[in-house]
Amino acid sequence: QFPEKLIPLMILNALEGKPLPVYGDGKNVRDWLYVTDHCAAIWTIMQQGQKGRTYNVGGRNEMQNIRVVEVICDLLDELAGPLAGKASRRALITYVKDRPGHDRRYAIDCTRIEQELGWTPAESFETGIRKTIQWYLDNPVWIDHVRSGTYQSWIDSHYGG
């Protein structure tokens, strides 16, 4: 995901000790799926799915946004160490006015892909978010390029943006 989305924004802001903006009361619910599970689901559909049939892909990991942010804070405290003064990154959570029309819940029924194609995610939310955070910790140059605009410049120069 690009840096303005929930998980990247929270990881990057938390690493820099910046506020972690959470919309409304933070109780909006989303279903989370680790990227390699998403890729595996698409591959399964391409290989085994019926042409013209719709398959919803979900992680069976519904969670409130505030809980996602808390987990990110706790894992970053563990993996990258606490903030200066040994404060938990949870102290950075800042509630902001909700967006107009912000969906309270995204629900995905992924029963069909599970029953018809036998696909289920390999990662739990906990294992996937840990891998995601570790990836961010291990790839600061890529992150800098995306945030600085270097990535977009490269895309434009290679694909005529």
Q: Give 22-63 pLDDT, tens digit per residue.
A: 999 999 999 999 999 999 999 999 999 999 999 999 999 999
In the chain, the percentage of residues whose pLDDT exceeds 90 is 75
**3-class secondary structure per residue, the chain:** CCCCCHHHHHHHHHHHCCCEEEECCCCCEEECCCHHHHHHHHHHHHHHCCCCCCCCCCCCCEEEHHHHHHHHHHHHHHHHCCCHHHCCHHHHEEEECCCCCCCCECCCCCHHHHHHHCCCCCCCHHHHHHHHHHHHHHCHHHHHHHHHCHHHHHHHHHHCC
Q: How confident is the model at residue 150 (pLDDT cuts 50, 70, 90)?
A: confident
Q: How confident is the model at residue 156 (pLDDT cuts 50, 70, 90)?
A: confident
- The fold of 6-155 is UDP-galactose 4-epimerase; domain 1 (3.90.25)
pLDDT at residue 105 is higher than 70: yes
Task: Find residue 21's DSSP bridge partners.
Answer: 94
C-alpha–C-alpha distance, residues 117 and 47, integer Å: 10
Q: pTM of the full predicted structure?
A: 0.89
Name 23's Cβ contacts closer than 8 Å, sequence gap at least 6: 65, 95, 96, 97, 98, 99, 102
- Where in the chain are the domains? 6-155
**Token pair belonging to 89:** 């990154």
pLDDT at residue 99 is higher than 70: yes
